[in-house]
Amino acid sequence: MGKQDKHTMLFHLFFSVFVLLTAGIHVVQSSSYHHHRPGPSKLFVFGDSYADTGNNPKSVSKSWHPPYGITFPGQPSGRWSDGRVLTDYVASFIGIKSPMPYRWIKFAPKSLSHGINFAYGGTGVFDTLVSQPNMTTQIDFFQQLINSGIYSKRDLNSSVALVSVAGNDYGAYNARNGTAQGLPAFIASVVNQTTLNLKRIHGLGVKKVAVIALLPLGCLPQSTVLSSYQQCNKTQNTAVRFHNLLLKQAVEKLNNETKSPTFILLDLNSAFMSAFDKKNSGNLKFGFGNPLKPCCMGIDASNSCGIVDQSGAKKYKVCKNPKVAFFWDEVHPTQAGWQAVSLSLKSSLNQFV
């Protein structure tokens, strides 16, 4: 892989972290006659690498190269992890198959019964450092499909959405040398745009829409590497708390307007923090070691997980057992990490069904 590719991938890795909202929707063809269970039958997914299950192009994305996917499905699948990601656990909680990535629907137009995943790793509500569809464009894709008639109103009425977004907006802000003074206004504009997106998804007929509250960005290995994975960046975590506060207020306002709990906040900040705490509290249910140290990392600072040189030699190393690591690479949890996070989100996810 050339230097160019490597840089593209590094960008990807660094800025492909966040997913905000997820909504699920009922399946079109089957919901009218076969209502197997009371919950939603379809899940529509928007956002970034925390939710993407294979939309990033193979040519530019590390997620399509080893060692991604070694735990599940056993080979790279376009997921930014060793295995399953947030979307897979949310789908499983609802009791449906993980929705098909949008890029494949032209090859399997009949496989839309569980919904569609429109999330692209590296993206945000605004344009980031990757040239993949931002969240507005992802919703445009959804709207075009609805206009083409593939889902009935009734299908949409029994569907939910999941949104994971905004981490990459802040990654891009930093990379563009955004100032500390300008950050509060930028956070407000990110939350405003997110709010518009959530309303739009609901306006298209999706019954309930869940959006992530940002995880502690300052605890990602890309930040903690500076302290040998000992300390989270407090400045970054403070910005995250402000984002989450504004988002919480926006979601409450939206629910006031709809007069029902239509919009659900999935608090990744608390979920990540409690996963990290398990170690300190002696509750080793998931067996994590130092929860801040990633399983897969570059052999030196100029490399990262998944990088190989021109001759194909690996420039990364993988830990023995990803099941005892919380983080997989610089920004993404392992499957075990996502499983722990999903368990923490259970009571919030209950509002989906």
Ligand X SMILES: *[C@@H]1O[C@H](CO)[C@@H](O)[C@H](O)[C@H]1NC(C)=O
Residues assigned a catalytic role: 49, 329, 332
User: By CB neighbour count within 10 A (0-12 exposed, 13-18 middle, 19+ buried), where does 103 fall?
Assistant: middle
Segment (H or E) for 223: helix 221-224
Interface map 270-309 toward ligand X (x if CB under 6 A) = ----------------------------------------
Q: Kindly state the tokens that stand for 4.
A: 């160019």
Asked if 258 touches ligand X (CB under 6 A), the answer is no
Among 1, 30, 104, 127, binds ligand X (CB under 6 A): 127
**Could you say whether residue 185 binds ligand X (CB under 6 A)?**
yes
Which of positions 202-231 make contact with ligand X (CB under 6 A)? Answer: 226
Min CB(233)–ligand X separation in Å: 4
Q: What x-and-dash track marks residues 306-345 binding ligand X by CB under 6 A? A: ----------------------------------------
Q: Considering only residues 29, 30, 92, 236, which one is a binding residue for ligand X as defined by CB under 6 A?
A: 236
Q: Describe the crossing of helices 167-175 and 234-258 by its angle, rounded to 10 degrees.
A: 140
The least distance separating ligand X from the CB of residue 255, rounded to whole angstroms, comes to 8
Question: For residues 339 and 87, is the Cβ–Cβ distance under 8 A?
Answer: no
Q: CA angle, corner 104, sides to 55 and 1, nearest 5? A: 45
**Do 99 and 352 form a contact (C-beta atoms < 8 A)?**
no
Q: How far is the CB of 319 from ligand X (least distance, A)?
A: 24
Cβ contact 72:338 at 8 Å: no
DSSP 170-183: HHHHHHTT--TTTH
Q: How far is the CB of 94 from ligand X (least distance, A)?
A: 15
Phi, psi of 140, deg, nearest 5: -60, -45
Residues of this chain, 12-71, that bind ligand X according to CB under 6 A: none
DSSP assignment letter at 215:
P
Considering only 4, 59, 256, 347, the residue that binds ligand X (CB under 6 A) is 256
CB of residue 246 to ligand X, shortest distance in Å: 9
Question: Applying CB under 6 A, which part among 101-109, 188-196, 295-303, 323-331 lies near ligand X?
Answer: 188-196
Q: Is the dihedral of CA 264, 268, 274, 279 positive or negative?
A: positive
Which of 189, 238, 258, 302: binder of ligand X (CB under 6 A)? 189
Regarding 152 and contact with ligand X (CB under 6 A), the answer is: no
d(CA 348, CA 353): 10
Report in angstroms how near the CB of residue 240 gets to ligand X at its nearest: 11
- Near ligand X by CB under 6 A, which window of 17-25, 251-259, 291-299, 318-326? 251-259
Paired with 46 in beta bridges are 163
**CA dist., res. 250 & res. 194, Å (int):** 9
C-beta neighbour count of 141 within 10 angstroms: 16
- Return the number of the residue (177 or 281) whose C-beta is nearest ligand X: 177
Q: Which of 59, 147, 148, 177 binds ligand X (CB under 6 A)?
A: 177
Tokens of 40: 């939603």
Q: Which two tokens stand for residue 243?
A: 């984002």
Residues in touch with ligand X (CB under 6 A): 126-127, 134, 136-137, 153-154, 157, 174, 176-177, 185, 188-189, 192-193, 226, 233, 235-236, 249, 252-253, 256
